[in-house]
Structure 1
Amino acid sequence: MALQLATPVNLINKFSNLEISNYEVEEKSAMPSKQQYKIKPISEVDSEYVLTHLRKFFFKDEPLNIAINLIENENSRCFELEDYSLKCIKSGLSLMAVTPREEIIGVCLNGTLCENDESEDDEECLNAKMAKIFKLLDYSGEEGTKAVLKKYPEVKKSILVKILSTDSAWRGQGVARKLLDRTRDIGREQGYSLMRVDCTSYFSARAIAKLGFECVYELNYDDYKENGKPVFTTQYPHKSFTVYIQKIR
């Protein structure tokens, strides 16, 4: 992959005891019990629980996955996608929102982009559909990085939000915002000067823009072609891959 994830030393241990409780006041709910949750770091022992959440609320709804029918039915799995999603947990920067019953209602899978990161050659993806997605992410990720550096050439390292997902029953209650807020805090604490979010979804991009992030790169899916034809025919209103950034230091 073009976006390489650095691994800060001892980050997982440093944040292992971190818990941030939150009582939502932004919007009233008919079910007060749903207003209570906490933000916690994700460790590798949480991997299967995170995957369970992603299979239910992210993989099947992601526009590129839908465009190529990556998840063919309710029982289908894409192990290459699951492995890709879990890679960034090792960085120690990823977060989850959990209820008092320890049910995951949101995840924010984060990594880093650093100036001196060494490029790693990925193994060939044998899943032809997933390989198409990887190729797009490689291309658009690299082009996005060029756009970021053109605007902020002094930036040496950025914290990167790779996947942001919320339980559908909790959407609109500020869970994603709290996950992003805590990600920003960790980025500042660890000396990152920029926060970056790569969006494949119109709704994600719109939500990120409302939080004050700036779009520095956009690739229309209709313009991404092979043999003269678009590789991905996405459903409306999802029309482009976008890169959003925010200076945090």
Structure 2
Amino acid sequence: MAFTSARNILDIKEKTHFKHENTRINKYTLADKLPQQLSELTIRPAYSIRRITNSDREKVLDFLGRFFFRDEPLNIAVNLLDGPEDRCYELEEYVSASLPDGVSVAAVDDDDEFVGVVVNGIARREEFSTEDKSVSCPNPKFQRILKVLGHLEREARIWDKLPPSCHTALEVRIVSTHSEWRGKGLMKALCEESERIAREIGADALRMDTTSAFSAAAAERLKYKKIYEVPYADLPYAPLPEPPHYDAKVYIKEI
């Protein structure tokens, strides 16, 4: 749903409330406040939210391969994956590079299967760079996507729009949910947990770069503030996704 900052690319690198605890797994039910007269019916499955670790790498990539890599509008626009067995190793490296930060989260069902993933990363003011990292990408299709993300990184200038005292931000880089679990508030819960983690690590803001109309709408529902947007048609190298995905946007949320 959302591609975000290209800061560390190829450096080969819905209301729900959370209690503030260092180590826990939160349990949510999709059948809260079930009317008394229906209490005898089977309750729909619950899910738990937990941190993603480095050992989850292959599980994350497998999930995103089924529910993000082939659905994301920019990926479709460049035909990033031609066949059902195709892989983009550069995109996989982009994902994997964020996992060591230890701030990504997953929703798992009662069978311990992923039903939602948010890949997050940590951005620091002193590490900001305008370097175009797309030039080192050997995949010409993914390179076009990297150039768009690099443009957002350079032109949004988030550190100029945040208080000087803000030195750390949590970037929501990729959000994806299982097709059968969409519309159930899963993304909201995952993003709220990401916000809790941001506070835990001392970040003063979150950032979300959106490359689809759907992820932009989600950012606004989550009370993020848009600070930059650019139509794909204005970037000669950019992929041109099908409507309604006309532009890329950058959002921030101070916490």
Q: Which amino acid aligns with 2:117?
A: V
Is contact 2:31-2:43 (8 Å) kept? no
Q: For 1:163 and 1:94, how far apart are their aligned partners in 2?
A: 9
Match of 2:197 among 182, 186, 191: 186
| 1:101 Cα offset (Å) | 0.5
Q: For 1:25 and 1:136, how far apart are their aligned partners in 2?
A: 41
- Asked if 1:139 is matched to 2:151, the reply is yes
Match of 1:23 among 15, 26, 29: 29
Q: What is aligned with 2:224?
A: 213
| 1:25 Cα offset (Å) | 5.2
Match of 2:180 among 169, 172, 184: 169
Is contact 2:145-2:239 (8 Å) kept? no
Q: Secondary structure at the match of 2:83?
A: coil
Q: What is aligned with 2:59?
A: 49
Q: What is aligned with 1:245?
A: 252
% identity of equivalent residues: 35
Deviations 1:72-98 (A, max 9, x none): 121111111111111100100000000
Q: For 2:75 and 2:64, how far apart are their aligned partners in 1?
A: 13
Is contact 2:30-2:44 (8 Å) kept? no
Is contact 1:216-1:245 (8 Å) kept? yes
- Asked if 1:152 is matched to 2:159, the reply is no
Please give the TM-score of this superposition, normalised by the length of structure 1: 0.85
User: Judging changes above 3 Å, is the alpha-carbon distance between structure 1 residues 140 and 26 closer, same or farther for their aligned structure 2 residues?
Assistant: farther
Q: Which amino acid aligns with 2:213?
A: Y
Is contact 1:93-1:186 (8 Å) kept? yes
Q: Which has the higher contact order (CA 8 A, sep 6+)?
A: 2
Match of 2:94 among 69, 84, 90: 84
| 1:150 Cα offset (Å) | 3.3
Please give the TM-score of this superposition, normalised by the length of structure 2: 0.84
| 1:118 Cα offset (Å) | 6.6
Q: Which amino acid aligns with 1:141?
A: E
What is the aligned-residue RMSD (CA, Å)?
A: 2.3
Is contact 1:43-1:89 (8 Å) kept? yes
| 1:149 Cα offset (Å) | 2.9
Give unpaired runs (5+ residues) of structure 2: 10-20, 35-40
| 1:18 Cα offset (Å) | 3.1
Count of residue pairs the alignment pairs up: 231
Q: What is aligned with 2:15?
A: none
Deviations 1:25-82 (A, max 9, x none): 5798x97333x00001001111111111101100001111111100112111111111
| 1:138 Cα offset (Å) | 1.0
| 1:237 Cα offset (Å) | 0.5
Q: For 1:56 and 1:206, how far apart are their aligned partners in 2?
A: 23
